[in-house]
Structure 1
Amino acid sequence: MNPIIAGAARLSRIPWLCLCILGLTLLGATTEALAHAVAEGDKGYIQEITGVHLLPFVYLGAKHMVTGYDHILFLFGVIFFLYRLQHIALYVSLFALGHSTTMLAGVYFGIGINSYLIDAIIGFSIVYKALDNLGAFQRWLGYQPNTKLATLIFGFCHGFGLSSKILDYNISPDGLLPNLLAFNVGVEVGQLLALGAILIAMGFWRRSPSFLRHAYTANVVMMTAGFVLIGYQLTGWFVS
């Protein structure tokens, strides 16, 4: 029997990694804007400074990615069944390309999207990737959607999530482009750090007999976390 399908009978045996994923999401749900939130100190800094400040923006970008659990959940789903480094590099690069393009263009050209709606779409990206990992689309549609294209498109969505938040903070146009480029460099540094941590944890887990037994459960938990994000954001949109 397919080990992923067989895992459906073991939902009560949730591995520690799944608990960490769900716990991270629920903890993040208590923050100010759920996804793409910026700490109050960082928010004030962005609003008050003018001119070029490269290193601070590199730091802010790295901090955002490392603490951005929505990005981490999506990356976790993207690399879940990727074993070759060249495949991991390809998918992560596609995500980075999409994320960087819309973040830079969105802020520079003032393209804003309602934060609640774009963060709900980001939650949907997590649900989509979990369903993809579970083989749901092959069963439901009879074919496998292009995973590379999906990763790129959802990368665009993640970038708009961040650009919309930066626009809400009225960042100064003085030094805007250099600061944005520095921020994006920081985001990529943070993504590499987060990816490295995920790969180390996944490497240990994949060598254990529990990986295939609990792969189904891990993706169900990830999908649940995505639905939590969607529900939280849509509720915020309706009541705001």
Structure 2
Amino acid sequence: MITRIALRTLLLIAIAVWHIAPAQAHTRSESHTTWLVDGSSVHLTFSVTDVEARRLTPDGHTPATPRLIAYLAPRVGASAAGRVCAAAGRPRAVAAVTGYRRVEFFFNCPSSDGITLRDNAFFELVPTHVNLAQIQTAKGDFAEDVLTADTQTIDLSKAQGGRIEGAGFLTFVSMGLMHIFTGIDHMSFLLGLVLISRRFKDLVFVITGFTIGHSLTLALAVTGIIRPHAEFIDALVALTIALIGIENLAVQIHRPGLFAVWTGAGLLAMAGLKLLGIGLLPFTLLLGAGLFASNYLLVAGHVRDAGRLRLIVTLIFGLIHGFGFAADLLNDAIPPAKLAELLVGFNLGVEIGQLTVVTTLVAAVALLRRLRLTLPRPIVVDVCAAGLVLEGTYWFVSRSFSFI
């Protein structure tokens, strides 16, 4: 059986290190571009989330469409034969899924040879920003590339095949792996699941529930049956991290009622602010979250064997995280023929990533036991749980009121 003290010691080290990193949204700072190249004509569709667009305004409010266009216009474009492609007409906003903004640009190039695409948007605001660029030609050729602060242009003669259209099963598995390993909030939640699992059987229950939940909503989101609001999902993911930490503290000091009251009161207060027009999350969502959180903490604190209860609860948490897992895929053109392969491969990658984290953790715990590098269990539990509460609460409030 995993030594609880050693387990929490390792979690304390991991969380302490990760808290040094700057807070970031689950769906890392990113934008999407689709470039249609027809001879010497270039049609660009630039897509960005509302959360990302708010970086353009000092007060954190969603910028008006003219302001977004004014920002993008000098930062996107194309060139050919060493000459800049002229803008053809004025940029215009087009319809987008909930939580996204989309703008179209048109360019006429002096030649159809040696076309280079350029996107400099958002990199000066967020150095780690990435742009997922899809390039299509009138002949049906498809390619995809990733633009970063270091590489902000695409030479069409060197563009590689698209990650969706031309990807194989192993590519989808790799995408799922990277989604786990690059998502700090998902990793924090996973560590919270391990922290709250006092026995191996409990860990099996929570991982099983989480897997079932995120697999279900990943499929629903990617197939288009449900289109979640990106801002809501980011905030709710943060709330799940805080709740995992709060439950640990409630159980540790045997005061579930106190934590249930304060947690529910905090969420209901935010619901009240929403009635006054303050905040992003809907009133009904905050009200429901408050009722769920308070009742969950009360029940979990009085159930002797909470493992099976957590199977249900982590299934609900998994439903939320599943939409987060789908965020990177929702704006990609997913061919129907690739859909099943993508879902199975991506989900398999996520599961491999989760198991890798847990396996590595268990191995490290075994090493700590042999070296006798442990701390008193109550101290480790309190510090780790408090770290999760602070992290989750900061992200939840920040995302709910658009502070980040």
TM-score per shorter chain, which class? 0.7 to 0.9
Unaligned runs of 5+ in 2: 1-8, 31-128, 135-143, 147-161, 261-296, 301-308
CA distance change for structure 1 residues 25 and 74 in 2, over 3 Å: closer, same or farther? Answer: same
| TM-score normalised according to structure 2 size | 0.48
1:25–1:69: 8 Å Cα contact kept in structure 2?
A: no
Q: RMSD of the TM alignment (CA)? A: 3.1
SS at match of 1:86: helix
Write the letter of the residue equivalent to 1:198.
Answer: L
SS at match of 1:62: helix
CA distance change for structure 1 residues 202 and 122 in 2, over 3 Å: closer, same or farther? Answer: farther
Alpha-carbon offset, residue 212 of structure 1 = 2.4
| TM-score normalised according to structure 1 size | 0.78
1:66–1:190: 8 Å Cα contact kept in structure 2?
A: yes
Q: Residues 129-170 of structure 1: CA distance to partner in whole angstroms, max 9, x if unpaired? A: 111111167233584234322111001000011223321334
CA distance change for structure 1 residues 27 and 42 in 2, over 3 Å: closer, same or farther? Answer: farther
Q: How does 1:78-157 map to 2 (within 5 A)?
A: 78-135=193-250, 138-140=256-258, 143-145=298-300, 146-157=309-320
Alpha-carbon offset, residue 74 of structure 1 = 1.3
2:176–2:348: 8 Å Cα contact kept in structure 1?
A: yes
Which structure is higher in strand share?
2
Write the letter of the residue equivalent to 2:130.
Answer: E
* Corresponding residue for residue 159 of structure 1: 322
* Corresponding residue for residue 3 of structure 1: none
Structure 1 residue 216 corresponds to structure 2 residue 382 = yes
Alpha-carbon offset, residue 81 of structure 1 = 3.9
Alpha-carbon offset, residue 177 of structure 1 = 1.7
2:27–2:327: 8 Å Cα contact kept in structure 1?
A: no
Which structure is higher in helix share?
1
2:353 counterpart (190, 209, 217):
190
Write the letter of the residue equivalent to 1:123.
Answer: A
CA distance change for structure 1 residues 123 and 26 in 2, over 3 Å: closer, same or farther? Answer: farther
**In 2, distance between residues paired with 1:207 and 1:144?**
35
Write the letter of the residue equivalent to 2:389.
Answer: M
* Corresponding residue for residue 6 of structure 2: none
2:192–2:245: 8 Å Cα contact kept in structure 1?
A: yes
**In 1, distance between residues paired with 2:22 and 2:322?**
19
**In 2, distance between residues paired with 1:187 and 1:75?**
12
Q: Of the two structures, which has the highest relative contact order with CA contacts closer than 8 Å and spacing of 6 or more? A: 1
